[in-house]
Structure 1
């Protein structure tokens, strides 16, 4: 760990790195072995006040900066991420647990997201509306909303934060980033390399500590005009309520429990193998991971056999070890949650076909698990496991499949496997989700919109829609002739 120079976790306020030890400091734990690798400082009320003033002061300057200047800084930032990809990826594996190859992919994808925002921010256009009088000019302009608060999750500690930070800065906003205590190094990398790229002081402020205290304090501040959050439905609803109380704009990217419809005309073997890889990415700790597998009766047994085989072939271990395909869960609480869900499944008539248990006595390892259930009555079919568990059930026809897929209040990602264009179109139209992926997994690309509906939240990140949450629309109507 020392050779990787795991960073000292500090607040960044303005250009000052601050970390005054307190009794409330929290340990950063390597989930592969339980060892402490760092300490999380706790922001005080004074720290938060300082961060707000820093971000507000910087906004008065940054909002008037040229899009070309913002673009150039972001491009330098993307280059620094790529130049230091192995160092950053090693940090992410140490504190979050994912295999090094996945962490490298996260760093490189994050750099791509930054480049996208750097290019698109040069195309934030207004428009002229033809008026009813030749004397009147009607303009629509887009202006940055102001200081933004971002609260980001631990499962993709770099990329989830990068999307919010890049969109805000590219729009001309400044940001206070409350980063995840479980996996902090990714956000430390963002702050460090943005400063190295030439970002003016105060444009990004990084704080750590008690999530409830930080969110409630900052959302109430009049200087903070936008809240963006990625995390659980329960916390998201609470934050949305706080934001609504103060009339703050909010973007909420919340939980998923993504359904999969595998029709009987699909290649059962190919679908099972592809879904296994995507289900077990980051040990299943992915909000868009395929989770509820609905497989049509005609290929059910064959699909189930292939899925079990694929799960049993996965090498689980320390993410830094050679050949590891799935690492540990990020923290011990996730292992406990897996055990509780599997116990409920067994008690209520489901079959555990593989896995269903911890691995070893050290670290947060849980075996890739396949559960076969005849109905949707078990907790696994209602609660997002956020771990390496696939729950599989058969369906009769497309109406039955859609009804069960839409049976939960979530609506983030969904997946369809079929060789029928008619079935694909009908399923895409019928699924109540913000994203539908057919015969592939093409979600979360920089150029495509990412977001959910219903309890999975509102607002969009990525694509040309990425700036909508950070801009206000102003209409200007001007009489060219003097008014006498």
Structure 2
């Protein structure tokens, strides 16, 4: 299939191509070869985007919420109509299987629909006061927003930010990842074709440091929303501190999975193995540290290894592929180094453990008996590697699950209702899935604690993150 992305910047309602601008080569991770060039925004482009965002904000925030919503709903409709084509672009840029890519586009459309409607339910409240007095609390849009998103779910994570910000009445300047410029451009093309006013939503491909420093340093930007690594998130927070710019940070994780001996083992294995290797493990909430109760540890390993061996790895455009390559040239070496370190420290390799012969592939991998001294037990692998060890008691496994400074997602499998209630309270995580991995949905908050960030996207909380609170008192 031919790569058919039209790579441009979208600034002040106009598409801009590469004339006079530096370009970056987009690489297909299946082959490691370049497939297109994306133009990078200049400093002048960024200044124009900032001016347009500030100019467009008063009219956009004043627009009737139903009219704003109608634009978002039309963009959602266009995304659904174009899901096949956009999914193919996403797969060729990022590597995930085409079915996953198409599902991501459809999930992004759902976010636009959700926030188009949720903005209508932003009621505020009236306080109790003596007769003749009035005190009320309202929420208003924070102002122009800058968003920075990663390559693992390039459309969905962008839509989570853009849809909520636009619904709240903010204008948005987005810098997507350089690995996946085509699919993210198509999201903004849907907004443009839906009739978004000039300056309200803008897309600036570009060098990360230049774009982030320029946008964050501007007094125009009132809010920054970032999804990515903890290290980069902390760096951006330092930049935001100088101007007291509000931030939402959805950062790294290292999700524990607690497997108790009363679970339905076969059903659990059928759930956890596909989830582990979804998007080649490049998921911030990917199940990674598997703690399995002693009595079922060996049967769990046997079932996991057998299912892992059946995962079909290949080009994401092939219908039979269940796991594609990693997204860029850095990832196979990074994942391989973690696997080698674990092996050197006593871990058993029960499946995989090696990189592929071409492109950016790495085998689906299962490691057993991994100690806390291994780097992979302390650093997020962000790849197709499951690490396992046995546990005995509830208190022991909770301590292990909460040991790291990360707290984005945690999962548990048990048929004991009382234990399930205790797990929900005891796990230090922004999201907990018990007998399910369905934790990223439009109507629920998504976010972490500790070094996994703060603030939420999704649900009512996602809209509120782009608003400020105002109390109005009248006597």
Q: TM-score band (shorter)?
A: over 0.9
Are 2:448 and 1:460 equivalent residues in the alignment? Answer: no
Are 2:404 and 1:402 equivalent residues in the alignment? Answer: no
Tell me the residue number matched to 2:89. Answer: 91
Are 2:29 and 1:31 equivalent residues in the alignment? Answer: yes
What is the CA–CA distance in structure 1 between the aligned matches of 2:256 and 2:65, rounded to whole Å?
40
Tell me the residue number matched to 2:360. Answer: 364
- Residues 377-413 of structure 1 show CA distances to partners (whole Å, capped at 9, x for unaligned) of 1011001110000000111111110000101000001
Check whether the contact 1:8–1:38 (CA below 8 A) recurs between aligned residues.
no
Tell me the residue number matched to 2:347. Answer: 350
Alignment of 1:196-211 (within 5 A): 196-211=193-208
Given the alignment, which residue of 212, 216, 224 partners 2:221? 224
What is the CA–CA distance in structure 2 between the aligned matches of 1:38 and 1:55, rounded to whole Å?
29
Check whether the contact 1:8–1:39 (CA below 8 A) recurs between aligned residues.
no
Tell me the residue number matched to 1:189. Answer: 186
Given the alignment, which residue of 87, 106, 109 partners 1:108? 106
Are 2:153 and 1:142 equivalent residues in the alignment? Answer: no
What is the CA–CA distance in structure 2 between the aligned matches of 1:23 and 1:162, rounded to whole Å?
27
- Residues 66-124 of structure 1 show CA distances to partners (whole Å, capped at 9, x for unaligned) of 11011111111111011111001000001010000101111111111111111101111
What is the CA–CA distance in structure 2 between the aligned matches of 1:243 and 1:338, rounded to whole Å?
32
- Residues 335-372 of structure 1 show CA distances to partners (whole Å, capped at 9, x for unaligned) of 01111001101111111111000122x21111000011
TM-score, length-scaled by structure 2: 0.98
Task: Give runs of ≥4 in structure 1 deviating > 4 Å.
Answer: 21-24
Cα displacement (A) at 1:427: 1.5
Cα displacement (A) at 1:448: 1.1
What is the CA–CA distance in structure 2 between the aligned matches of 1:264 and 1:402, rounded to whole Å?
15
Tell me the residue number matched to 2:296. Answer: 299
Cα displacement (A) at 1:374: 4.7
Tell me the residue number matched to 2:165. Answer: 168
- Residues 225-256 of structure 1 show CA distances to partners (whole Å, capped at 9, x for unaligned) of 00000000000011112112211110000001
Are 2:372 and 1:376 equivalent residues in the alignment? Answer: yes
Tell me the residue number matched to 2:467. Answer: 471
Are 2:382 and 1:386 equivalent residues in the alignment? Answer: yes
Cα displacement (A) at 1:24: 4.4
Tell me the residue number matched to 1:482. Answer: none
TM-score, length-scaled by structure 1: 0.96
Check whether the contact 2:5–2:183 (CA below 8 A) recurs between aligned residues.
no
What is the CA–CA distance in structure 1 between the aligned matches of 2:22 and 2:55, rounded to whole Å?
30
What is the CA–CA distance in structure 1 between the aligned matches of 2:99 and 2:268, rounded to whole Å?
23
Cα displacement (A) at 1:269: 2.2
Matched pairs, number = 475
Tell me the residue number matched to 1:332. Answer: 329
Q: 1:219 to 1:175 in 2, by over 3 A?
A: same
Cα displacement (A) at 1:35: 2.4
Aligned to 1:280, the other structure's residue is in SS state helix
What is the CA–CA distance in structure 2 between the aligned matches of 1:121 and 1:186, rounded to whole Å?
26
Q: 1:388 to 1:22 in 2, by over 3 A?
A: farther
- Residues 206-238 of structure 1 show CA distances to partners (whole Å, capped at 9, x for unaligned) of 001111111111111111000000000000011
Cα displacement (A) at 1:149: 0.3
Tell me the residue number matched to 1:156. Answer: 153
Tell me the residue number matched to 2:70. Answer: 72
- Residues 108-164 of structure 1 show CA distances to partners (whole Å, capped at 9, x for unaligned) of 111111111111011111222122x32321121211110000001100010000010
Given the alignment, which residue of 160, 175, 178 partners 1:178? 175
Tell me the residue number matched to 2:49. Answer: 51
Check whether the contact 1:367–1:388 (CA below 8 A) recurs between aligned residues.
yes
Check whether the contact 2:98–2:319 (CA below 8 A) recurs between aligned residues.
no
Given the alignment, which residue of 245, 258, 261 partners 2:258? 261
- Structure 1 residues without counterparts, runs of 5 or longer: 480-484
Check whether the contact 1:398–1:427 (CA below 8 A) recurs between aligned residues.
no
- Structure 2 residues without counterparts, runs of 5 or longer: none
Are 2:411 and 1:418 equivalent residues in the alignment? Answer: no
Check whether the contact 1:273–1:306 (CA below 8 A) recurs between aligned residues.
no
Are 2:320 and 1:323 equivalent residues in the alignment? Answer: yes
Check whether the contact 2:369–2:388 (CA below 8 A) recurs between aligned residues.
yes
- Residues 253-303 of structure 1 show CA distances to partners (whole Å, capped at 9, x for unaligned) of 000110000011112222122111101000000001100000010100000
Cα displacement (A) at 1:21: 4.7
Tell me the residue number matched to 1:12. Answer: 10
